[in-house]
Structure 1
Amino acid sequence: MQERTLKVLEFFKVREQLMGHAASPLGRDKISRLIPSSDFEEVQRLQEETDEAATALRLKGNVPLSGIHDIRAHIKRAEIGGTLSPAELVQIASTISASRQIKRFIENLHEDRTNVPHLLDYTNRIIPLAELEQAIKMAIDESGEVLDTASDALRALRQQLRSNESRVREKLESMIRSSSAQKMLSDAIITIRNDRFVIPVKQEYRGHYGGIIHDQSSSGQTLFIEPQSIVQLNNQVQEIRVKEQLEIERILSELSAKAAEYSAELRVISDVLGELDFIFAKARYSRTIKGSKPTMNNEGRIALYKARHPLIPMDEVVPNDIMLGKEYTTIVITGPNTGGKTVTLKTVGLCTLMAQSGLQIPALDGSELAVFNAVYADIGDEQSIEQSLSTFSSHMVNIVDILNNADYNSFVLFDELGAGTDPQEGAALAISILDEVYKRGARVIATTHYPELKAYGYNREGVMNASVEFDIETLSPTYRLLLGVPGRSNAFEISRRLGLNERVIENAKSQVSEDSSQIDNMISKLESSRRDAEIELAEAHELRKQAEKLHADLQKQLIEFYEQRDTMMEKAAEKAGKLVEKAAEEAEEIIGDLRRMRLEKNAEIKEHELIDARQRLAGAAPKVKKTEKPGAKKAALHAFSPGDEVKVITFDQKGILLEKTSNNEWQVQIGILKMKVAEKDLEYINTPKQKEVKPMAIVRGRDAHVSLELDLRGERYEDALFKVEKYIDDALLAGYPRVSIIHGKGTGALRQGVQEYLRNHRSVKKIRFGDAGEGGTGVTIAEFK
């Protein structure tokens, strides 16, 4: 990619923004060298890496990338025998610790069945150097101080040092507490000069203590003296300090040599952490701009949906749909100044460069971009009349270079093509240049003021006219791109709204050729028609959303109604059953009494009469029949087939079956609407005579083999729910009263999804976790109605 192209399309500004999302110098170094790639496979890999990082951020919220340092220079010094400082060794230990944390983080993602193969490839290269990390942390703390635990010799030396310093302090404290010290000392304190303990003595008493003068105050009235009596003690302290420093240097040298032994592993850790920081910086930047992963191709196709310029604030930028490379390979954008033509040009070019750098783009999901060998841009903002010659010359130098290099796998952006010279000659040059680049098969987007280029798209196959919209009412651009509609002059309308005399405007119109006038009128009608169509399309989308929501709400309410009615019927039956049971007990007592009376008094009561009475009492107990769901009886009696006329119970509307979309759903045509309807919600009416379609439905009977349990362990979330849906249908057809669904414990996501589906299923009476012997919370038991 040409550096000038990267500059004019503002790729370097995007790189600067990306730099702010890096967590370490290693990541920032990678970003500083980021340029777009023209290798299709490499671009695909970069996009997949960024998408994996974005998925990790979405699931976990944050990534452990703190504590990473650039240790490459430290490794090199250690390799040549140099002794590293405590701070440098701490940075090595911190980087090893960071590598261990990020390795574990990504392995946990994999264990949670998150698909991150590229990130795993990186972390698999990391060898955790736990021994080196522990050795450094045992010897040096986070602030860079060598600890007593670094060696037994250092611990002993520091104990001696503390003991001797304590003796020196005791000696000096006895001096400053004496009665004579109050008048001879400037202050009753012990201080340190040149690493030796001293006391502040007034100038006139300098000879009283003897010893060595190490310093004096700025006024010269106070001398910092090491009394003669503690010189020997201070000497002993200094000797121990020298030994301590030698031991520290020995420890640092030993740790440096140990780091040199693992120099190859440390380099790998440094490289991998730099790559991971770079990848996660791209993911964090994508979250900032609300980016998405584009589908990449090497066939020159561009399809951007609601694309935004990433450097314009989101509350100000106007998103646009931009298509190129399928039905047409060239777009010519016309329209007024400050209308957004250049921004549109830069948006497409910058999104292309970002995508080829592995960055996600500020556009909706499903957008598509191509990988080009080169992107060329001739974009300049010079519009001064005084500089017209230099502006034209500058443009032509760039255009000549583009024409010398562009080929079928190039993307070319021309801003104000042919500007800066005579309009007639400029328009002719613009057409000729576009023809040349078009013949080479390059993808081209050009902006222009020339009206001659409005007809360019109509005269050549593979060229599309476009324009930026201008609101005559507000006299301002809307920055919306209109594909298929060439721009038109708004000079007359603007002049009229600004108060120019109507007579002058009419006179001006008479100077315009009839062809130009007709073209402007045609463009005006196209703009109006497009605007009306977009409004109607938006209204249709809104109505469809409302209809879908209403359908879902009605189905949910209907299910709740049936469930509540069944519950109430069960409660009523239970209550009635208890009453009848009580009455039966009382009747049994009465019959018993009658039997005793017959035996005792020879009453004329026959045994078969007693049996009949008991049977009548038993038959009095209520038997509750579960509510039959709408359409269930009809569906069981008739095997639906495409073309059948049915009634949709929920909406009380007639419709025609089009096709079966799943085991228990059909696509139904209701008037002008098509919708998916559960088979249980359908009631068969008839089959039109002209359609002789044999039923294709296959009903599984009770003898069909269906397992009493479904094992979902190891399944992906979407595949698992599909299997549950099919399994429940099969179990219902097999007549099972209950089934077991094994989903395991894991993160709980699959368990929650399965139970949510079962709760909303019409035929499921209740659900519960399995008992201890049934699998506990790793199993859900579903009981059917």
Structure 2
Amino acid sequence: MNQETYTKTQFNQIKEKLITYAISYYGKKRICALQPSTRIEVVKKRLQETAEAKALLMANLHVPFMGLNNIEHLTNQVEKGFILEPNELVNYADFLRSSRLIQAFMQKNQFIAPLLARYSGSLQLFSDIENQIYQVIRNNQVENDASRTLRKIRRAIQECEKEIESKLHAFLRNSQNKPKIQEAMIVRKNERYTVPIKASYKNQISGNVVDTSAKGTTVFIEPLSVAKLNDKLYQLKMEEATEVYQILFGLTGLIAEKMSSIQSNLEVVAQYDMIFARAKYSREINGIEPTVNQDGIIEFVNVKHTLLGEAAVPLNVSLGKEYRGLTITGPNAGGKTVVLKTIGLISLQTMIGVQIIAEPGTNIAIFDQIFVDIGDQQSIENALSTFSGHMHNISVILAKAKQNSLILLDEIGSGTEPNEGAALAIAIMEAFYKKGSIIITTTHYGEIKRFSEQHEDFLTAAMAFDSENLTPKYQLILGQIGESNAFWIANKMNLDKQVVKQAQNYLHDRNYSTKKEPFHHKIRRPKERTKFPTYEKGDRVCWTDKKKSALVYETIEMSDEIVIFIEDEKIRVHKRQLKLEQSAKDLYPPNYDLETLFEDFHDRKKIRDLERGSKKAHKQLRKEMQERQGKKEE
């Protein structure tokens, strides 16, 4: 096997699915390392493990896996010499307890899962460690009774804290202190007991300032009456931490002493985790356990591609008894490649012990090797064309293939001149056949189809096609030859129907049209531009869109648009919208000031007065300016 086979058959996706069902890091790690076995006794054992685990699940019986989520990290910590925290020790005790419960569970249900029950016999019990951890640690804290010294220290701590609180309550009740106290309460700051005092009185209180509030209005003072007691309490806390550390050190040491035996349990539990992951996935797909053989016999009875599930069309194929070679023909997108992938995937899936979607009677061959050449083998990095890529891949496969090998070749011989490609493909098929390999190929080439028909040990098969509706059925029919259905694909791609019809005629009648046709290039003449009338400023025109008269205000150079003046508004319109009513030459005398047509009389008078220096006009202008400025300020 190689990674190319795993990738092309989507076997890696099956393993990724399995990993999601594993609980522990060790179980997931085992699945990652799981490889298809070529030994039939190993495959049978794996299938039996999965079947037994699935039977337990179907009976609503669940293995008591406990403490597995973090066990890998905790084990590493112990091996590195770190001391486990109380909650971590409880987690480890849960795992040790789990080993004991798993053993009891398996022995109780050995009539359902005899093989799995035998595995539990190798589990070692650590009841003494388990019990010590549970007795010493409660609610993720070390119990007072964990040791006589710890009990004595904690009693002293309680007495000291009680004495401190008594003195501080007396301080708070003192009438002289009350005005200086911010709030009548005891506050613990930096592991010392304090009282909140107003900042303005901090120099009037005998004691140590331990902390200050964020705003600076309150200071937390340790009165002198409790300073020595706080020191004593701090010392007792240090002694407590030391004693707790010693207790945790002792419990962690118990685990470290038995680590080699615990590691052995970890391996067994990880094995169970992996087996039950296979069983959970097999249950999800509603799989069955197939018969297996090492004689190269493939018998699929309504087998479905695992990842396609219910959407997959059942595959029925028989190979290895009467025939050792199978050539599949049919249209592109008709399912030929899916057949190859299904055969490869189902074989590999069985070899790791995962059940398959099939019906009873399915018999899976356990091959020494499975090789595939599926998809585009083009490589930019190695400057290989698609054909070169296929040849490189097949060359490697041919060198490694032997008698009990399964060879899956997609579109063999394609990517080059058809006659040469077909001849090379047939020679390759013969070479694999002479090595004793089981070979399954797909092709479009008629010559390869004929070779398979004539060969005594090769079988042909076709992908079913609905010719009436021009749709593939994705169903493999043994003993038939399928067409490539190029015409169906052409119709699907909306190729001109007349072209497809002509191609169908050429399929039977090779009388091609080879006569030279006369072609004359048409002289393209530039399209004449529409000419519009020329307008002058002051012309009276009819604006046809609005059916209103207007005056021409301005013509726009290099354009068929013009600006007209209508109802005291200037509007830009196309010349095609205008119709000349009367020209300016006919309307006004020579040297007539046409600007008067477009400006208000009063505005023109104001401009003339300003130009000749009229004081009244300038005064009015300043007044208007001041009024505008006044409005802006408002």
| TM superposition score normalised by structure 1 | 0.60
Contact 1:72 1:270 in 2 (8 A): no
Cα deviation digits, residues 217-243 of structure 1 (max 9, x gap): 333333333332222121122122112
Contact 1:69 1:91 in 2 (8 A): no
Q: Letter of the 1:20 partner, please give it.
A: T
SS of the residue corresponding to residue 283 of structure 2 reads helix
Query: What residue is the counterpart of 2:129 in the other structure?
Result: 132
What is the CA distance between 1:87 and its match in structure 2? 3.6
Contact 1:415 1:446 in 2 (8 A): yes
Kindly indicate whether residue 421 of structure 2 is the aligned counterpart of residue 452 of structure 1: no
What are the within-5 Å matches in structure 2 for residues 225-236 of structure 1? Answer: 225-236=221-232
Contact 2:464 2:474 in 1 (8 A): yes
Contact 2:378 2:387 in 1 (8 A): no
- Give 2:116's match in structure 1, choosing from 115, 119, 134: 119
Percent of aligned pairs with the same amino acid: 38
What is the CA distance between 1:494 and its match in structure 2? 6.6
Query: What residue is the counterpart of 1:403 in the other structure?
Result: 398
Query: What residue is the counterpart of 2:5 in the other structure?
Result: 5
Q: CA 1:27–1:76 in structure 2 vs 1: closer, same or farther (change >3 Å)?
A: closer
Contact 1:388 1:420 in 2 (8 A): no
What is the CA distance between 1:285 and its match in structure 2? 0.8
Query: What residue is the counterpart of 1:702 in the other structure?
Result: none
Contact 1:69 1:92 in 2 (8 A): no
Cα deviation digits, residues 100-134 of structure 1 (max 9, x gap): 11111111112xx32x2321221001122111100
Cα deviation digits, residues 294-348 of structure 1 (max 9, x gap): 2221111112222222222x34222212322122122212222222222221111
Query: What residue is the counterpart of 1:576 in the other structure?
Result: none
Kindly indicate whether residue 185 of structure 2 is the aligned counterpart of residue 221 of structure 1: no
- Give 1:351's match in structure 2, choosing from 335, 346, 356: 346
What is the CA distance between 1:167 and its match in structure 2? 2.8
What are the within-5 Å matches in structure 2 for residues 340-739 of structure 1? Answer: 340-381=335-376, 390-492=385-487, 507-513=502-508
Q: CA 1:166–1:364 in structure 2 vs 1: closer, same or farther (change >3 Å)?
A: farther
Contact 1:26 1:69 in 2 (8 A): no
Cα deviation digits, residues 506-564 of structure 1 (max 9, x gap): 5433422589xxxxxxxxxxxxxxxxxxxxxxxxxxxxxxxxxxxxxxxxxxxxxxxxx
What is the CA distance between 1:28 and its match in structure 2? 1.2
Q: Which segments of 5 or more consecutive residues in structure 1 lack a partner in the other structure? A: 516-785
Query: What residue is the counterpart of 1:744 in the other structure?
Result: none
Query: What residue is the counterpart of 1:330 in the other structure?
Result: 325
- Give 2:287's match in structure 1, choosing from 274, 291, 294: 291
* Inter-partner Cα distance in structure 1 for 2:26 and 2:316: 37
Q: CA 1:190–1:477 in structure 2 vs 1: closer, same or farther (change >3 Å)?
A: farther
Cα deviation digits, residues 700-734 of structure 1 (max 9, x gap): xxxxxxxxxxxxxxxxxxxxxxxxxxxxxxxxxxx
What is the CA distance between 1:384 and its match in structure 2? 12
* Inter-partner Cα distance in structure 1 for 2:481 and 2:208: 95
* Inter-partner Cα distance in structure 2 for 1:324 and 1:151: 73
- Give 2:252's match in structure 1, choosing from 253, 256, 276: 256
Q: CA 1:502–1:156 in structure 2 vs 1: closer, same or farther (change >3 Å)?
A: closer
* Inter-partner Cα distance in structure 1 for 2:182 and 2:436: 92
Contact 1:203 1:221 in 2 (8 A): yes
Q: Letter of the 1:377 partner, please give it.
A: V
What is the CA distance between 1:73 and its match in structure 2? 6.6
Contact 1:206 1:223 in 2 (8 A): yes
* Inter-partner Cα distance in structure 1 for 2:443 and 2:455: 17
* Inter-partner Cα distance in structure 1 for 2:109 and 2:73: 33
Query: What residue is the counterpart of 2:23 in the other structure?
Result: 23
Cα deviation digits, residues 400-443 of structure 1 (max 9, x gap): 11011001111111122222222222222222211111111111
- 469-478 vs 346-355, greater mean Cα deviation: 469-478
Query: What residue is the counterpart of 1:320 in the other structure?
Result: 315
Q: CA 1:436–1:164 in structure 2 vs 1: closer, same or farther (change >3 Å)?
A: same
Contact 2:298 2:364 in 1 (8 A): yes
Report 1 or 2 for greater relative contact order, CA contacts < 8 Å, sequence distance ≥ 6.
2
Kindly indicate whether residue 68 of structure 2 is the aligned counterpart of residue 68 of structure 1: yes
Q: Letter of the 1:65 partner, please give it.
A: F
Q: CA 1:430–1:238 in structure 2 vs 1: closer, same or farther (change >3 Å)?
A: same
Q: CA 1:408–1:152 in structure 2 vs 1: closer, same or farther (change >3 Å)?
A: same
What is the CA distance between 1:182 and its match in structure 2? 6.2
Q: Letter of the 2:224 partner, please give it.
A: Q
Q: CA 1:207–1:262 in structure 2 vs 1: closer, same or farther (change >3 Å)?
A: same
Q: CA 1:415–1:225 in structure 2 vs 1: closer, same or farther (change >3 Å)?
A: farther
What are the within-5 Å matches in structure 2 for residues 28-107 of structure 1? Answer: 28-69=28-69, 71=71, 83-107=83-107
* Inter-partner Cα distance in structure 1 for 2:446 and 2:173: 101
SS of the residue corresponding to residue 20 of structure 1 reads helix
SS of the residue corresponding to residue 480 of structure 1 reads strand
Query: What residue is the counterpart of 2:545 in the other structure?
Result: none
Kindly indicate whether residue 334 of structure 2 is the aligned counterpart of residue 339 of structure 1: yes
What is the CA distance between 1:195 and its match in structure 2? 2.1
- 236-245 vs 361-370, greater mean Cα deviation: 361-370
- 226-235 vs 14-23, greater mean Cα deviation: 226-235
SS of the residue corresponding to residue 59 of structure 2 reads helix
Q: CA 1:224–1:481 in structure 2 vs 1: closer, same or farther (change >3 Å)?
A: farther
Q: CA 1:376–1:502 in structure 2 vs 1: closer, same or farther (change >3 Å)?
A: closer
Q: State the number of aligned residues.
A: 509
What is the CA distance between 1:186 and its match in structure 2? 4.5
* Inter-partner Cα distance in structure 2 for 1:377 and 1:487: 22
